[in-house]
Amino acid sequence: MLATSRRCLQRVKLWLLELPTAKLIVLALAGTYLAIIPLLICVPFLASGQTLGGPDLGKGNVFKLIAIGCVAAPLIETTIHQWGCLRVLSKLRCKTGIAICISALLFGLSHSYSVPYVVLGTLVGGILATVFAIEDSRKGHPFIATLAVHALRNGITAAITLFVL
């Protein structure tokens, strides 16, 4: 059973490594939204009285929402949680999978609006760290690819917040 799981993970890894960067970005972006589904199912049972939460940048100030949510936050967080964390852990000879998990956990903990949001942040952080690791391993542009996923995610969420909710 374990050998079959490892073979399956190896196939997925090879498939992701061969995926063009643009498709990897779209797949990762979709994954960041699919990560919400288990939370929507589990949150009512795990965190009664808690909402998913998130930063309140205000609906009234569109410029502030875009400047902070779509530019500043992705730049700062990608620098700290993916580039910085994964580079340091790589220098310490940490295995990639463990480095991704550490990066994801630190990313999640930095989004401490609520317990469910930390869990969501950890899942999203894992996806972002995986994009960084994949692009880095194939000598691509890991910072730019990761930044693109993060900025697009925040931009789509901002648009939904402004125009739908």
Assigned domain for 3 exists:
no
Least confident of 25-29, 60-64, 67-71, 132-136: 60-64
Q: Looking at the 3D structure of the chain, how many domains does it have?
A: 1
What does the pLDDT read at residue 45?
57
Note down the domain range covering 144: 21-163
Amino acid at 96: T
List Cβ neighbours of 128 (8 Å cut-off, separation of 6 or more). Answer: 28, 32, 78, 81, 82, 103, 104, 107, 146, 149, 150
Position of tokens 């952080």?
125
pLDDT tens, residue by residue, 36-52: 887 777 766 555 555 55
So what's the pLDDT on residue 55? 64
What does the pLDDT look like over 78-120, one tens digit per residue? 999 999 999 999 999 999 999 999 999 999 999 988 888 888 9
The answer to whether position 93 is within a domain reads yes
Do the beta carbons of residue 144 and residue 159 sit within 8 Å? no
Report yes or no on 106 lying in a domain.
yes
